[in-house]
Chain A
Amino acid sequence: MTSPFPLLHVPYLPQGRIIDFMDPDALVSLSFCSQKSHSVIKTQRKLPFDGHLLVEESDKNSSFLSFPKFVFGLLRKRNCVLSAEKFVDNINYESMESVKMGGQHVRVEMDCLNGYIISYWENTTDGLKVITEYVTNLFNIDISDIRASKQSFHMIEWVNSRQKTPLRRVWYVDWNATSSEEELIYILKFCRPMSELSMHLKPPQNFRFTEKFPIIDCLDIIHGEWMTLDNLLTMDGIDIVLEKTILTSRDLNVFLKHWLAGGCPRLKLFCARLGSVDMFQVLDGLMRNAVFVENSRYYTSPFGYSRVLSGGYDIQREDGVTATVHYQPPRTLIIAVWPETPYNYN
């Protein structure tokens, strides 16, 4: 059926069903049609969205709002809702549609491949703010996830300040950049409670976080040079993955004893790359309680990290919960708590 359909004249209930069945990007298109279509979406949309709204400033020239899909923990398909891109010289914007957002007329066009609207701006940061306000108002939801680089760090602050709902996931990723002390402290202090935090950028030299570590279900830090034993002992996480730390085997021994005594009670997977691993030091004082298991076991954590545990020491806590302590050459120590828990990315 390709003939016209007077959507705004169908009865209330089926109209609401149609709105509920529509994809977020199509709803954004529909909202631009008229004030009435905009208010119909606002009042009729009842179903929760399939996914969480992610705001992402990928580079200086483009930003996205999307309901991302994860496949085995990876962002495979970008379900974009609306994007903001920078004006470039060789495109004729006059021939494009103009819609009203945030009280201003904005040039837009359809991304034919993926079916979402691209809006064009002189300044994509301003554009991202306007489209974020527009979409969160239209769908009456808050931003859940944010992916920012060093240059778009301010978006984390902006999103955090404009809503009461805490952010669920924060990716602060910039492979070549060094974060400032203020930025790291801001994320660790003011983005809580947070379910997932990934930080993939270098810390400033000699940075330490001396306060109580925030409760973060899934922590993934690529440059963990700043992590201290005190940080480990105040953590309360489920999946903790730390790369490039300067923690020692003695530190890990203390952490293991801390876990055996009931510390970090929700822990399922701890994975840290140390300077070097000495299993005797790690298990110092615990060998009587440890059972060596030679078999290879496959372990998947609640947040989807998978590890092969080829040999390892099983240690049992007083309440009967068992963890496998596994050394993965050359410098990684893994603590995997049984039983495995099925993961759920959304």
Chain B
Amino acid sequence: MTSPASSSEVKYLIESSEGNTFDVSGAALRQSNTFNAMFLNIGADGPIPFTDYNEATLKKVFEYCEHSVNEENYSGPKHQDDLSKWDLNFFNEMDQKMFIDVINASNFLDIERLTSYCCERIARMLRGKNTQEMIKVITLPTAEELEAKQKVEEKKAAAAKKVAEKAAETAEKTETLEELPVQQLVQTTRNKLTRKYLSFSNE
């Protein structure tokens, strides 16, 4: 059932990238500013398509929204120590891929509280890390990897240059070959004419 009514009883159907649909309460969905801007006043005639995100991600996002329906208005991220056990479990049970998907979906749906908590969690994760540790965490190539990559690229470029040179050489040869039959033709014709001339003169 989809409806523009504001009652928290109202359920909306959400469609994921797999084409699956599932229910989300109006109260939970209203935490999404994207939803509020797009559907709240005009309603939706069928499932609301959030088809850029898979079912697991959307369910996770709305699980958070359902849970925080009754929490007081958002007033900035809480300190780690102030997070409830439920919040901690919610974040801890996500693997890295899910975490990234949840951030992306939460960002698209513009769910302020969840986006902030996720972002703050990552910022906290980066605290006290030196550059090498930071590079590992944010999955940047290290200086050695960059050097190795550069070497590979240089090798590739050198190989490509060689191939290009060879190709140019081959093209040059082909040009000579292409020219050869003409010369041969001229020579053959010249020989024939010479032979004819000689035969005439002999006659």
Contacts and interface: CB of A to CB of B under 8 A. Distances in A.
Contacts of A22: 123, 126-127
B128 A110 contact: yes
Given A1-B91, A5-B122, 13 more contacts: A3-B95, A4-B96, A5-B99, A6-B138, A7-B126, A11-B103, A26-B129, A29-B126, A29-B129, A29-B134, A36-B140, A108-B131, A112-B128
B2 interface: no
A33 to B, nearest CB: 5
Interface of A: 1-8, 10-11, 13-14, 17-23, 26, 29-30, 32-34, 36-37, 97, 99, 108-110, 112, 115, 117
Interface string B162-196: 00000000000000000000000000000000000
B107 interface: yes
28 contacts: A1-B91, A1-B92, A1-B94, A1-B99, A1-B125, A4-B136, A5-B125, A5-B138, A7-B137, A8-B140, A11-B104, A14-B104, A17-B119, A17-B120, A18-B119, A20-B119, A22-B123, A22-B127, A30-B126, A32-B131, A32-B134, A33-B134, A33-B138, A99-B131, A108-B131, A110-B128, A110-B129, A117-B131
Q: Which 6 A-B pairs rank lowest in CB-CB distance, beginning with the nearest?
A: A21-B123, A115-B128, A17-B119, A7-B138, A3-B96, A110-B130
A110 B134 CA distance: 12
A30 B99 contact: no
B34 interface: no
B60 to A, nearest CB: 14
A99 B131 CA distance: 9
B130 A18 contact: no
B32 interface: no
Interface in B61-97: 77, 91-92, 94-96
Nearest to B118: A14
Contacts of B128: 26, 110, 112, 115
B100 interface: yes
B132 interface: yes
Nearest to A23: B127
A33 B142 CA distance: 8
B125 A2 contact: yes
Contacts of B126: 7, 22, 26, 29-30
A10 B103 contact: yes
B36 interface: no
A10 B129 contact: no
A6 B107 contact: no
A1 B130 contact: no
Contacts, number: 108
B42 interface: no
Given A1-B92, A33-B138, A97 B103 contact: no
Contacts of B103: 10-11, 14
Question: Chain A contact residues: over half helix, strand or loop, or mixed?
Answer: mixed
A74 B95 CA distance: 44
Interface in B11-39: none
Nearest to A13: B107
Interface string B135-172: 11111100000000000000000000000000000000
B96 A5 contact: yes
B57 interface: no
Contact of A109 (B94, B130, B135, B139): B130
Contacts of A11: 103-104, 107
Contacts of B107: 11, 13-14
A30 B134 contact: yes
A180 B79 CA distance: 49
A19 B122 CA distance: 9
Nearest to A40: B138
Contacts of B140: 8, 33-34, 36-37
Contacts of A17: 115-116, 119-120
Contacts of A18: 119, 122-123
Contact of B130 (A2, A5, A13, A97): A97
Contacts of A5: 96, 99-100, 122, 125, 137-139
Contacts of A30: 126, 134, 138
A14 B77 CA distance: 14
A115 B130 CA distance: 8
B126 to A, nearest CB: 5
